[in-house]
């Protein structure tokens, strides 16, 4: 039977005789059903987006680099802040954004900075936006830890969508493939999603420890 060759099951014994079986499907044998490498790439893309979100949004001390890629929504579309304004750090306590090149986007830039989740309260003077850098308080650290959890939950929602879409693609060929094979592939996809979610939990735990220590 095909299902005998699709995967090997490895049991990891836990506790009192409990075992958790893992499957390891040979991706080449199910290419005509689904490309598991592509599914894995999609899952890892979600992971990379989470890492980028952490890098951009969870800085304990705000720097000009933290604002560079902040998305500003204008009437002409969405742009990184550093494409609309010149960002410079005047001092450890103050960041300046000069909107001379796109003065019409000043209000949109202020809105993006205020809603960045970085606890910033920008002040405007014509085309100059002054961004006081807040002190690193315990409240600010806890706020960032909360944001880290929210970003992780959002990423897990994306993981579930990738898993669901992959499973739906597999089910479309159920009339030509045995039910056992379908179930085995679905288990592999679930396992891949679970492994990625575990990576996210590890990333979150490390970032939370960093923020609150």
Q: What pTM was computed for the model?
A: 0.66
Nearest C-alpha neighbor of 110 from the set 89, 131, 86: 131
Q: How far apart are CA 44 and CA 50, in angstroms?
A: 10
Return d(Cα 129, Cα 176) in angstroms, integer.
Answer: 62
What 3-state DSSP class applies to 18? strand
Tens-of-pLDDT digits for all 213 residues of the chain? 455 455 555 444 444 444 567 877 777 767 778 899 999 999 999 999 999 998 877 876 666 677 887 899 999 999 999 999 999 998 888 999 999 999 999 999 999 999 887 778 999 999 999 999 877 788 888 988 999 999 999 999 999 999 999 999 888 887 778 888 889 989 999 999 999 999 999 999 999 999 998
User: Please, which residues have CB within 8 angstroms of residue 141's CB and are 6 or more apart in sequence?
Assistant: 60, 211, 212
Token pair 């056992």 is found at: 180
Domains of the chain plus CATH, in order, are 2-54+139-212 (1.10.132.20), 62-135 (3.30.1360.40)
Token output for 136? 């690193």
Element (DSSP H or E) covering residue 185? helix 179-212
């Amino acid at each position: 039977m095909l299902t005998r060759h699709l995967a090997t099951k490895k049991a990891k014994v836990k506790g009192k005789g409990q075992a958790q079986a893992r499957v390891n499907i040979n991706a080449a044998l199910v290419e005509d059903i689904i490309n598991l490498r592509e599914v894995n790439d999609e899952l890892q893309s979600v992971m990379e987006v989470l890492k980028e979100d952490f890098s951009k949004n969870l800085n304990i001390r705000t720097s000009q680099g933290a604002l560079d890629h902040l998305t500003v929504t204008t009437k002409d579309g969405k742009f990184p802040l550093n494409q609309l304004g010149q960002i410079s750090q005047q001092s450890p306590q103050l960041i300046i954004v000069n909107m001379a090149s796109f003065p019409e986007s000043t209000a949109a830039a202020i809105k993006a900075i205020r809603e960045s989740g970085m606890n910033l309260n920008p002040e405007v003077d014509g085309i100059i936006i002054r961004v006081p850098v807040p002190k690193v308080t315990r409240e600010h650290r806890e706020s960032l830890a909360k944001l880290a959890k929210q970003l992780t939950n959002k990423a897990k929602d994306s993981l579930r969508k990738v898993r669901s879409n992959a499973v739906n693609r597999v089910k479309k060929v159920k009339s030509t493939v045995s039910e056992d094979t379908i179930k085995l592939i679905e288990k592999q996809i679930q396992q891949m999603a679970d492994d990625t979610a575990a990576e996210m939990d590890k990333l979150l735990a490390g970032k939370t420890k960093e923020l609150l220590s």
